[in-house]
Structure formats: structure tokens, C-alpha cells
Structure 1
Amino acid sequence: MRKLHVTLRRLVLLAVLLSLLLLGYAVVRQRPQDMPWTDLDLSQPIGMFTGRKLTALTGDAAQCRALLDRAGVDYVAVQPGGADQCAYSDAVRLRAEKDAIALAPASVAPSCPVVAALKLWEWQVVQPAAQRIYGQPVRSMRHLGSYSCRRMYGRSAGDYSEHATADALDVAGFTLADGRSISVLRDWKGEGEDAQFLRAVRDGACDLFSTVLSPDYNAAHRDHFHLDQAERGATGWRACR
């Protein structure tokens, strides 16, 4: 029993020290987004806990839409649909905006937490990478869809995919301002600037989405990035491949 008490005291002390270190880090760098208890702000750079805060928006559609509103994102909320394991209630469809990356097809309506992460990815990762590597912005993003009432990998049994609740988006490629096309299927391999760009945006997505799967994961993802905001309970583990 005494050993248990000593162990508990040590754990509490470590937790306090970690909190103080985080607080000191955030104060010194003036980065409140690096603190787990601060509110998410889509106008701020990506912080240590931004991804977890985005995932936590699942189940609070009103808060998520309020964040999009404050960030000036133009969207329309989609009526709930589906049923049972394939029900969705917080999907939103982005409207065309000047200088924003257009989704192609434009009719896609992922869940609000996915869209919030998608906009941060656009602002903080995709466009900076495009400017750095190509000297021009991305104009559109090609995708393979969001909502699909199916189980993982299209199996007849097992867990349902995050697509079943519109909580995922599969990104297949990008088109630059000059019309140049970048394809996950065609350009992932190699050492050229297209491969460099794709790996940069994949790595950046890992700070924002609960799950990021690329051609590095398996053959099923050879032609797209799977991005989702899966909830994984208290552990909150994240997948990035």
C-alpha cells in the first residue's frame, strides 16, 4: 500500500510538472494553442493540441459551426441523413470562395470537424507548401468522396468506416493556379517536387486529423490520402501513415 501511495504521488508530481512546462512554453512563445485547455481558434497557427481539439468537435455541431463562422468560412449546413450505423448529423458543404481551394466535385459534404481541419490544412499546410515548392497557390483539390455507408475496406462484416458518418474525406490530388495537376497515384513516388509537395501536405495533415493514411500505408490507399476525425475514447491515439 505504501508503494502504491508513493507511485501515485510521483504520478501527480509528474502531471503537475508537465502542466507547468506546457504553461511556461505557451507563455514564453505566446502560443495559447499549445495548451490543452484553451479554446480552439481557427485563426491561430497549428498548436500541440489542435488536432485533438478538432476531433473533440464531433458531437457538438453548434460549436463547430460557430468556429467556421468566426473564421469567415462560407458554408451551408446539410440536413441530417442516413440511419443506424450510417447516420450523420453535422455535415456541411463549402461554398465557392475567392482565393480558397475549391473541392472537386463541389457537392461533397463532410462532417463539420473534417471541414474545420480541412480549412486549417489549406491555410497552414497546403498553400504554404505550394508557395514554397511551386511559387504559386493551389486552386482546387480533387477528392474521391466523403459519405459512404460501408464498413472498413468494403468488407461485409466488422467496424464501419468513418465514411459511414461523413467523418472522412479521400483526397486524390491538387491543381495549381497555372493548371498543373498533382496526383497521389502518379506522383507519390520519386524525389521530384510533386512527391516533395505530397509528402509535405501528408505530414502536415497528421497534426490536424485523427487518421491520415497514404500510399505508405497499403495498396488500398495508393491513389489517395484518407483523412478522418475518428473518436478513439480516452486514449485519443492518432494514426499517421
Structure 2
Amino acid sequence: MPRQKRKPGRLRRALTWLVLLALFALLALLAYGWLRQHPEDTPWAPLDLARPIGMFTGRKLVALRGDFPQCRALLDRAGVEHTVLAEHREGAQCGYADGVRFAADDPHISPFVPARLGFACPVAAALALWQWEVVQPAAERHFRMRVIAIEHLGSYNCRRLYGRSSGDFSQHATANAVDISGFRLADGRRVTLVADWKKNGAEAAFLRDVRDGACRVFSTVLSPDYNAAHRDHLHFDQADRGAASWRACR
């Protein structure tokens, strides 16, 4: 009987598939290990304010809008001292039931000027992360010192967008926004949007760094680059636009 021919091609293909499967398993194992060490970069891991800002941190912060107890628990675990504001209602479109205020003497958080600023809890959580992960590192980088106070133009304001008499209400109408106007450094210097945004040098670079970093934790960030109405402040809010287009940074 004639000898049956060998089929080396089939054997090579089988070995190739085995090698590919082994490589895939190794990559999956490495990816799993990396993701366990970086939960901030996974959509399913719970938010932790003690972790660095990751790919999904901003969306998780926005999701806190519907879970006041969880938001407060996150602040507590991160050591952020705060008080709960009394529920406030003003007409059908204005008011809040998730307002908080940072403690004036909390060493973890720079004080806001004027004092006694309150805002919706998801804004507070994002502000805490923004200070730790963006503002203070930027101040050390540009000025070799810390920010000791943050100046603002307010949070809650029962009004429509741009103060118009009709149209959609602003995120300020539910305390879900805050306007930041400047910063005070440890040596007493002030860095403000209205005075320093258009300059060259460390002040302008610092302001752009804190603006860009805010885009990672707030769903909306508007700066003087957006329009003249924001020439003197950075507007931050946690508007929920859905997963497809959750962020606006201008």
C-alpha cells in the first residue's frame, strides 16, 4: 500500500494557534493584574476619592448626582469634613436636597473665599479631587508653593442660563455648579482669571493647567476661552448628559 503523506502544514497551524492562545492568556492575566491595581481606569470599580484620577473617574462623579448617601460616604472615607445643608426649594425648577459645605478648618481642603460656600455633593467630591490631584500639584510646579485659598463667584443661584428670561435653567439653579475666580498662594499672591488668563508666564500656565485638570472630574468646564461671559471665572458643573457625550471642556 502507498505510504500516507504527512501534513506538516496542519501541525504548524496547530502550534501557531497554541502559541497565540498562550500569548492571549498571558496578556489577559497581565491586563487583569493591571486593572486590579488601577480601579480608577475601570468602569465597574467603585469610586474612591483616595485614588488618582482615572479614565472613568469623571463619569463616576457625575453618577453621584442620584446617590446622596453614597456621595457623603465617599467624602467621609476620604477624610473630607463637611456639613449637610438643609433642603432648599424655590419654585418648580430651583433648589437642592444634596447640598454640602466643607468645614472651614478642614486641613485637607483649601478654604473658599467668601466663606460658607455650599454646593451639590457631586460638585464637592470633584472639587476635593481637583484640589488634591490638580490644583496643588500645579501650584507646586509653577510657584513652588501651595494654594491656601480659592476665590469664587458662588454656586446656588435660581436662574436660567446666562440670566435669560426664558430657556433652560442653569446648573446653578440646583447648586450643581460653582464658579472659580482666583487663587491665593502661600506667599499672599493672588492669581485671578480676569487679571492673569491672557498674560504670559507662570500665572497663565497655572490657570490653564487647573482648567485642563478640571475637565477630568467635571462634566462641564467653561473658561475665558469659551466666551466673554466667562472672562473672569472657570465654570464647573456636573450636568448628566449621558455616557456618549458626558463631558464639555472649553
- Identify whether the pair has TM-score above 0.5, normalized to the shorter chain: yes
Superposed, 1:207-222 pairs within 5 Å as: 207-222=216-231
Is residue 79 from structure 1 mapped to residue 86 from structure 2 by the alignment?
yes
What is the aligned partner in structure 2 of residue 167 from structure 1?
176
Give the letter aligned to residue 157 of structure 1. Answer: S
CA distance in 2, matches of 1:25, 1:137: 37
Moved over 3 A (4+): 21-27
What is the aligned partner in structure 2 of residue 28 from structure 1?
34
SS of the aligned residue for 1:215 comes to coil
- Count of residues in Structure 1 that have an aligned counterpart in Structure 2: 221
- Identity score, percent: 59
What is the aligned partner in structure 1 of residue 51 from structure 2?
44
1:18-68 per-position Cα deviation (integer Å, ceiling 9, x unaligned) = xxx999657336211100010000000000000000000002100000000
Cα distance, 1:25–1:224 mapped onto 2, change above 3 Å: farther
TM-score by length of 2: 0.85
What is the aligned partner in structure 2 of residue 134 from structure 1?
143
Deviation at 1:87, TM superposition (A): 2.1
Give the letter aligned to residue 92 of structure 1. Answer: V
Cα distance, 1:25–1:126 mapped onto 2, change above 3 Å: farther
What is the aligned partner in structure 1 of residue 101 from structure 2?
93
What is the aligned partner in structure 1 of residue 248 from structure 2?
239
Give the letter aligned to residue 84 of structure 2. Answer: A
Aligned equivalent of 1:107, options 87, 105, 116: 116
RMSD (Å) for aligned C-alpha atoms: 1.7
TM-score by length of 1: 0.88
Unaligned runs of at least 5 residues, structure 1: 1-20
Larger Rg: 2
Give the letter aligned to residue 85 of structure 2. Answer: V
Unaligned runs of at least 5 residues, structure 2: 1-26
Cα distance, 1:228–1:218 mapped onto 2, change above 3 Å: same
